[in-house]
Amino acid sequence: MATQEADVLIVGAGLSGLIAARTVLQAGLTPLILEADNRVGGRILTEELGGLPMELGAQWIGDTHHRMFALAAELGVQTYPQYDDGETSYELAGTGVLRGNDFHSRFADELAELEKVLRRLDELAAEVSPATPWTAPHAAEWDAITAGAWYDAQGLSPVARTLLEICTVGILAVPTVEVSFLHLLFTIQTCGVTSELFAESEGGAQTTRFVGGTAEIPNRLATLISDHIVFESPVQLIEHGTDRVTVHCRGGRTATGRRVIVALSPMLAGRIGYDPPLSGYRDQLTQRMPNSAAMKAFFIYDEPFWRADGLNGQLISDIGPARMSNDTCILGDEHGVILLFLEGEQARTHTHWSEEERRAALTAELVRHFGDRAATPLHYLDGEWGSRQWTRGCYNANCGPLVWTTYGPALAEPIGPIHWASTDTATEWSAYMEGAVEAGERAAREVIESLNA
Amino acid sequence: MATQEADVLIVGAGLSGLIAARTVLQAGLTPLILEADNRVGGRILTEELGGLPMELGAQWIGDTHHRMFALAAELGVQTYPQYDDGETSYELAGTGVLRGNDFHSRFADELAELEKVLRRLDELAAEVSPATPWTAPHAAEWDAITAGAWYDAQGLSPVARTLLEICTVGILAVPTVEVSFLHLLFTIQTCGVTSELFAESEGGAQTTRFVGGTAEIPNRLATLISDHIVFESPVQLIEHGTDRVTVHCRGGRTATGRRVIVALSPMLAGRIGYDPPLSGYRDQLTQRMPNSAAMKAFFIYDEPFWRADGLNGQLISDIGPARMSNDTCILGDEHGVILLFLEGEQARTHTHWSEEERRAALTAELVRHFGDRAATPLHYLDGEWGSRQWTRGCYNANCGPLVWTTYGPALAEPIGPIHWASTDTATEWSAYMEGAVEAGERAAREVIESLNA
């Protein structure tokens, strides 16, 4: 097999890699993406169920995701608002199922406690620069404790503490005792404020969806650069020198270029071989940013029957496999679609179950919240990411204690001709599609500037 | 290049892989070790300095390391006791340098506090089975907090807390806030009791050394199986099926067998590709056992001048690059040799310094403790492990919060024809050479039994 040549090699056809390739191409340089899988999109994956597009990966954008709105408009992908009318259903602290209004009046004090902690988190997060979290005045102190330990120290009531955990795990997809408090503050600050992240209603990061499914974005991007992508080419080794890079793929494919952009999560980037080898500093970082654990499960019904009951299709629960759900009906279609989230421990535990067992337990949970009609879905689909060999965990990479303060500067700093993309390296909306676009553009810009220098 | 064939392929010629190969051979089966580097030994590495063998990696064994004593005897490697006469030198809590007797009388109360905590650690560790730490009655609770947080909660005086940190980091080679408390208790229990580990004097794990250097052990083992090792063959991919394994190495070498033993640290094992891919469960474990960070620095003098002053060559300090040192003079040689340990944060910080800067700062530290003669060594050598691409960190793999309780069972459980060795999978003296022997023997036994079944 002949060696392919390009100006800029890009490892990975996720959103970040696709954006990098397009940006490089627009600058008059030739990109070549080497993708391990047989598809583009990475952590964006739309699968059909009952003829409807289900989002097994990234699904929403939020009002401040300016890059994504612009990208969708450019690609001609229409958007529509997330459904958000009616009450959320709660099942917390052994009270049985309560509708939102009842829950809010019964637990007004606890919700006020929670609100106070969220305001405090906002204040502390404001001290953290998302590009350089390790420079925050209290970085050393905050990076030495876990987010869970900080939460535990706030003297919260069990209901407030549980809600705080559920909301946070909904973002991190790992238990809060696995990440440093500095990492939590980084996560908040990269997105703005806690209300953007932890909104009980679907505000913040989850206001808007894409017509035809989120995969329309990477698929249309790929169409624009289709001559510049090769599939089923897992990169095993990157040889690099001044102004010269050769990548070697499983199966024998090789490609050469002047720069390479590695658009993979840090852990996957660490699994590639480099010749000459990278520093211990960079390497030990990639040993310490594991991907988190999330599953999504979809139920399709003949109609969104919960809406007629004044419910918004959202549940928040501390029992049952799922901690949260959403109404994810498809615009222009009359079926009812409920999405259940299994995140962190819930994902880890329930991946060991059979699909039937998961479906049965989730059905029981839905019936408790939305009534007997939930027992008879037309279709069911679930998916988790740890077993997908080219992703190995969603939503993102998290940092335990001392990782940011010890290794943070190694995350996005180029090494010779090697540049780093992926949403995990972003400073705005890291872990989101918005961050993937930022990181892809930033890495492409670094490369373009260095080649024009 | 023709495909090589053997009954049992072994990835890695560290002590665990060598032991596995020898055990397999003794059972009448053919092993083949694929080693990435151009030498055997892995985390055992003896380099010459001024004509004397310096141990950049594993160095000592302790009285309960029965497998290692037996192995040394079998291989004809002589042992000799670690020098341990005289006082330790302390420099803690801003007191300036104090000799051991002065330190012990001045800080008798603090040392009593420390002793009490160590006894408590022994009690708690006794509840943890090193083969199944996740089954301990309080495993969930202990795995949700960091060892550092547990230490902080003991109400210790600054001196006792500092000493506890120094002793623990001397084992883990990462700060105590990076590991779960359950992992600390596992570490203690795998070695017996805290006195085995944390001995201020060189008891416990560090009583005995090897004539000619520790590398005599892997080197002589390798001689016995020299027809069964290939070097410079980094394994990139393991294809596996029922009773059949093919490994593919960088550079094109391939080998086939009926079983494979991966004798690498879990993180490195996770960087190999597997076809079919391994479960998310196993994969996410390997994302969460990063290797720690340690450096050793050796000074050679014309004689061990500190001995005449009644000092044992050991220092314990909370300032300066090194937190601890040892007299590591060579049996039968009259030079003085001091070994300084840089572990955890100390290793991470000082790898960014130039060798001259490190040497100067360490020299200043030695002069404070051992006097002006320490300023004029004949030779200096240091080495760290994060930058070594086939190791990527010493001494061992550590677990942050929730790793043991979530993923522990995946550590050593075979997957089809794939078996796991390396000291990190051992139940007795995990992270030590003793554990490497145990793990190599255990993995070989699994393979032999399955092939004879």
Summarised one tens digit per residue, pLDDT across range A230-270 is 999 999 999 999 999 999 999 999 999 999 999 999 999 99
Residues A432, A436, A438, CA angle at the centre, nearest 5°?
110
Is the CB of residue A386 less than 8 Å away from at least one CB of chain B? yes
HSE-CB at B426 with a 13 A cutoff on CA atoms is 29
- Residue written as token pair 């490697």: B77
The CA distance from B347 to the nearest CA of chain A, in Å, is 11
Report in angstroms the alpha-carbon separations of A335 from A300, A309, A379, B439: 7, 16, 11, 56
- Residue written as token pair 């302790």: B62
User: Which residues of A fall within a CB distance of 8 Å from B402?
Assistant: 175, 177-178, 345
pLDDT at A399: 98
Is the CB of residue B283 less than 8 Å away from at least one CB of chain A? yes
pLDDT tens string B264-311: 999 999 999 999 999 999 999 999 999 999 999 999 999 999 999 999
pLDDT at A199: 58
User: Which residues of B fall within a CB distance of 8 Å from A406?
Assistant: 345, 348
- Residue written as token pair 């689909």: A381
Q: What is the pTM of this model?
A: 0.97
- Residue written as token pair 């929670």: A114
Nearest CA to A130 out of A199, A176, A188, A194 is that of A188
- Cβ separation of B400 and A178 shorter than 8 Å? yes
The CA R_g of chain B, rounded to the nearest whole Å, is 22
- Cβ separation of A267 and B250 shorter than 8 Å? no
H or E stretch covering A9:
strand A8-11
Interface subset of B 235-274, CB within 8 angstroms of A: 236-237, 248, 250, 267, 270-271, 273-274
- Cβ separation of A287 and B392 shorter than 8 Å? yes
- DSSP letters, A286-344, are HTT--B--EEEEEEEESS-HHHHTTEEEEEEESSSS-SEEEE-PPTT---EEEEEEEET
- Cβ separation of B287 and A392 shorter than 8 Å? yes
Q: Strand, coil or helix: what is A375?
A: helix
Mean pLDDT over the full length of chain B: 96
pLDDT at A192: 83
User: Which residues of B fall within a CB distance of 8 Å from A277?
Assistant: 387, 389
State what percent of residues in chain B have pLDDT above 90: 95
Is the CB of residue A130 less than 8 Å away from at least one CB of chain B? no
pLDDT at A309: 97
Contact A106, A90 (CB under 8 A): no
Contact A166, A158 (CB under 8 A): no
Alpha-helical segments (H) within B287-407:
305-308, 345-350, 355-370, 403-407
pLDDT at B194: 81
Contacts within 8 Å (CB) and 24+ apart, B445-450: B445/B23, B446/B414, B446/B419, B447/B8, B447/B20, B447/B24, B447/B29, B447/B259, B447/B261, B447/B419, B448/B23, B448/B24, B448/B27, B448/B29, B450/B259, B450/B414
Nearest CA to B52 out of B367, B380, B357 is that of B380
Q: In the beta sheet, which residues pair with residue A254?
A: A248
User: Which residues of A fall within a CB distance of 8 Å from B406?
Assistant: 345, 348
pLDDT at B198: 65
Is the CB of residue A293 less than 8 Å away from at least one CB of chain B? yes
Nearest CA to B151 out of B205, B95, B113, B109 is that of B113
The CA distance from A274 to the nearest CA of chain B, in Å, is 9
d(CA A144, CA A91): 34
Which of B23-37, B190-204, B338-352, B376-390 shows the lowest per-residue confidence on average (mean pLDDT)? Answer: B190-204
Contact A297, A304 (CB under 8 A): no
Mean pLDDT over the full length of chain A: 96
Compare CB distances from A284 to B146, B283, B293 and report the shortest one's residue: B293
Is the CB of residue A287 less than 8 Å away from at least one CB of chain B? yes
The CA distance from B181 to the nearest CA of chain A, in Å, is 12
Is the CB of residue B149 less than 8 Å away from at least one CB of chain A? yes
pLDDT at B199: 58
Q: Strand, coil or helix: what is B397?
A: strand
d(CA A421, CA A10): 9
User: Which residues of B fall within a CB distance of 8 Å from A393?
Assistant: 280, 283-284, 287
H or E stretch covering B442:
helix B433-452
d(CA B319, CA A81): 58
**pLDDT beyond 90 at B248:** yes
Give the rounded distance of the alpha carbon of A23 from its chain centre.
Answer: 22
- Cβ separation of A290 and B293 shorter than 8 Å? no
pLDDT at A206: 87
User: What confidence category does residue B203 fall into, taking pLDDT thresholds of 50, 70 and 90?
Assistant: low
How many other C-beta atoms lie within 10 A of the C-beta of residue B111?
A: 17
